[in-house]
């Protein structure tokens, strides 16, 4: 007996946050679904390293083109968000990652001088 909400593995949906997800397994309720952008990125590049995230370079969660998916560390993501460096253009967002890294280095150098 399956619940009326059951769907087969491989089914796609859009979650409440607007991310496309694919059902990857049965049973482990919270781990049955995985972001489609993550699966696409991993198929091309291998597993997402621990402490990293894959973001949409142009902020468009429906743009699943590999050139729009950017791997960043959680620390970089925090800086990107703090400084409004995620743009509507993937190339500008990649530049924002470099700026975020520079801001971290500048902060580290200034901290050492104190």
pLDDT beyond 80 at 26: yes
Burial (Cβ within 10 Å: 0-12, 13-18, ≥19) of residue 17: exposed
Q: How confident is the model at residue 85 (pLDDT cuts 50, 70, 90)?
A: very high
Closest CA to 33 of 66, 50, 9, 69: 9
Return the ∠ at Cα 77 (arms to 63 and 28), rounded to 5°. Answer: 70
pLDDT in tens, 47-83: 999 999 999 999 999 999 999 999 999 999 999 999 9
Classify 35 as helix, strand or coil: strand
């Amino acid at each position: 007996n399956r619940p009326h909400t059951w769907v087969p593995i491989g089914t796609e949906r859009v979650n409440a946050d607007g991310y496309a997800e694919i059902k990857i397994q049965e049973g482990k309720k919270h781990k049955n679904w995985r972001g489609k952008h993550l699966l696409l990125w991993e198929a091309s590049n291998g597993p997402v390293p621990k402490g990293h995230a894959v973001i949409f370079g142009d902020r468009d969660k429906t743009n699943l083109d590999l050139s729009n998916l950017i791997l960043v560390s959680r620390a970089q993501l925090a800086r990107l968000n703090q400084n409004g460096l995620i743009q509507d253009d993937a190339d500008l967002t990649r530049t924002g990652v470099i700026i975020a890294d520079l801001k971290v280095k500048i902060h580290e150098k200034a901290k050492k001088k104190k």
